[in-house]
Amino acid sequence: MMADKQTINRLLKTARGQLDGILKMVEENRYCIDISQQLMATEAILNRANREILAAHLKHCVQCAASEEDRASKINEFVAALDRILK
């Protein structure tokens, strides 16, 4: 992985902390909208981590591919990832 590991780790640990908080909110039978808002905030952090990783893929893996065939393969992987994200 070519993305900044420190940034990715920070984002993922933040999301994990938020998930722990959401679990506690559910156990405490908190208000549905409050739980939903926290879920959306966690999704946003996970999406940001994913963007960082995919951007690094384009900037490093695709750009530094040894051959045109390898580059095409990496671009196809990226497009497939976008397809999954946009569903």
Q: Quick: pLDDT tens for 5-37.
A: 999 999 999 999 999 999 999 999 999 999 999
Give the C-alpha separation, 63 to 78, whole Å: 12
Q: Give the chain's domain count.
A: 1
Give the C-alpha separation, 7 to 17, whole Å: 15
What's the average model confidence in pLDDT over 29-55? 97
What pTM was estimated for this model as a whole?
0.86
Q: What is the CATH number of the domain that holds 59?
A: 1.20.58.1000
> Residues 58, 82: contact at Cβ < 8 Å?
no
Q: Which domain holds residue 17?
A: 5-85
pLDDT on residue 45: 98
